[in-house]
A and B are shown apart, each in its own frame.
Chain A
Amino acid sequence: MAAAKGLFAKCQLFKWNIQAISAGIFQNGMAIYPSFYIDPIFRKEVQQELVQSGEIDQYAHLPTKPAANNQTCSLTFDPDISLFTNYLMRDGRKNFARQLVEKSLEQVKRIQLEKFHKCTSEEDKAKIELDPKVIFHRAVTNSMPLLQLMPVKRGGVKYQVPVPVSHHRSRFLGMKWLIEASREKDKKTVRFWTQLARELVDASNNSGRVIRRKQDLHRQCEANKAYAHYRWS
């Protein structure tokens, strides 16, 4: 009986969803869920914040989209690392991409520990960051460019015009450069995750190939600043 009721309830829920969608009023581009569906608030601490600010009441009457299959309330979850994994993934091999990221974070930890143990004084030891996630975030923040060059055609000539980048695009570029730098490794014997770990540590110290690439771009933007007005005219 309970089972039948459960099935019935599920069917009802399902039916309601279909109805809302078939109404066609709330069409949301190509998305299957109508526009009034809210994104899932799957982190416990975020929900706590909403409860404290009282904002949670405004969601009580709105249906929620299902949580995606890489979202979890687990303490190990990090949205930026999840995003980085997705950028790194090829041919939909998520598990493999995840392994690579995890291995490189492990390698970061090893590199930092090695440095830590080489230090003799307590002061130097205190300066070394041992958390690979912090290193990762620092590396990504350091490799995010502020400007980029956009080709603009004026009078038959293409000018490379410096334009500011959005936060999203900037983060994408930073992560992409980190991945590309690790793929273009010098020796074939070096594994991808080892190289990625090195790049992450380098970038977190504001040095290395990725940072140089960012600085090159900034330098080019600086050189082309005379064309900046082509953004509007």
Chain B
Amino acid sequence: MMRKIGIAFRPHNLLNIQNWLLSSRKILEIRTLSAQASSTTEIGSIDTGAPVENGDSKKNLSKAMKAYLDRAREHDEFMNAQRVEFEIGKRHLANMMGENPETFTQADIDNAIEYLFPSGLYQKHARPIMKPPEEVFPQRKAAEFDETGRPYHFLFYTGRSNFYQVLYDVVEHINEMYKFEDSMTRKNLQPDPMLKLNLSGTEWIAKSALEFRVVETVSDREYNTFVTAMDRLSNMPFAYKVKDFIMEYRVSLMNQSETYDAIKPQIREDGRESVTVYECRRKRAIGNVTVISPGTGKITINGQGISYFEGIQEREQILFPLIFSNMQNKVDIEAEMQNGGPSGQAGAIRYGISWALRSFVDQETMESMRLAGLLTFDIRVRERKKPGQAGARRKFTWKKR
């Protein structure tokens, strides 16, 4: 029992607990929190409703309940102190930055901290921060049981009532779906293909997000259960009927082509625009590629034309992005390549041309170039030979003696 109470802390302020209680269904009639409770010395005590006398309930308090109330009070005091400190710190910071403390927002705080404590640490969460205590200290659950120790939630003894409530809801929806499907089959009706649930571009919320939402720790296995259950629900033919519920647990993915911006073209002496991509690489080859627009399709590689490459394949590779984006006679290409072989050099030039062409094509073409694999940097390189082996992976012929 003690262990259960241990996790049953309340959140940072009483308003929150009130909200939480209001939102939970059955508790609403049984108990409400008076605003007075916060002003009295007994912060966190739960004011019982009319039927039970105040004095009686205090007498009946179990040790566990007392311990819980103590902890809740301590946590509340701590959070209040932190909040006051944060406010003072914020005002000091605003004064230091010479701004109005009344209108100093969180964004201003972040900027000020970045300015005052410049940090080169790679990990963002390792850099100095100043955030409201609600964000710094982990959220805690509201009271899960009344003063007699009786839990509110019917899944309390699972230890993760909110998480299992989600799974419970999923199963309820699935059962509803089955019933609905049966009734539709009886009427000889098919699901509407126009309304079919489209989940592309979104994914299930991450484990950490789920944990934050249910204010409980969720193990990897439980998270997998959640994903499996949600997948099952969303794969049902009439899943669009519970779209709202499903979409609550989906987050939208970032569009791949929005992950990088095109380079801004420079104006050359002859008035044409040019984009240079420096250090284009592929295998051992390295060099710079310049795309000049408008042009006539002239290609210069190390002072020669496309005949710099003897093989057809290499020439095809140079022309690939140009043909693909319909720019083959609209731009000029200049490339300076070093090291590597023909294949690597051609690959590096192909990458440079594609990367530079983004500045001269529309968003749609850019996306189709990305899908064609032109905008992905090829990170593959020759694997080194290992000692004691004939090659990178090949072993010497094994002889017993």
Contacts and interface: CB of A to CB of B under 8 A. Distances in A.
B371 interface: yes
A72 B317 contact: yes
What is the interface residue range for chain A against chain B? 35 or more
Contact of B323 (A1, A16, A41, A74): A74
Contacts of B126: none
Given A60-B255, A61-B200, A73-B323, A7 B372 contact: no
A61 B253 contact: yes
B56 interface: no
Contact of A98 (B255, B312, B346, B355): B312
Interface stretch (A63-71, A140-148, A188-196): A63-71
Decide if the interface of chain B is mainly helix, strand, loop or mixed: mixed
Interface string B260-288: 11011110000000011111000000000
A200 B324 CA distance: 32
B195 interface: no
Contacts, number: 135
A47 B279 CA distance: 30
Interface string A129-158: 000000000000000000000000000000
A214 to B, nearest CB: 31
Interface residues of B, number: 49
A60 B377 contact: no
B50 interface: no
Interface string A1-44: 11101110110111011100000000000001000001111101
Contacts of B310: 95
A62 interface: yes
A66 B375 CA distance: 7
26 contacts: A2-B265, A2-B266, A2-B276, A6-B277, A6-B355, A9-B260, A9-B261, A13-B377, A32-B380, A40-B372, A42-B373, A47-B368, A56-B371, A60-B200, A61-B200, A61-B255, A61-B256, A64-B372, A64-B375, A66-B373, A67-B372, A70-B313, A73-B324, A76-B316, A95-B311, A95-B313
Interface of B: 198, 200-201, 253-257, 259-261, 263-266, 275-279, 310-313, 316-317, 319-320, 323-324, 343, 346-347, 351, 355-356, 367-368, 370-380
Interface of A: 1-3, 5-7, 9-10, 12-14, 16-18, 32, 38-42, 44, 47, 56-67, 69-74, 76-77, 94-95, 98, 102
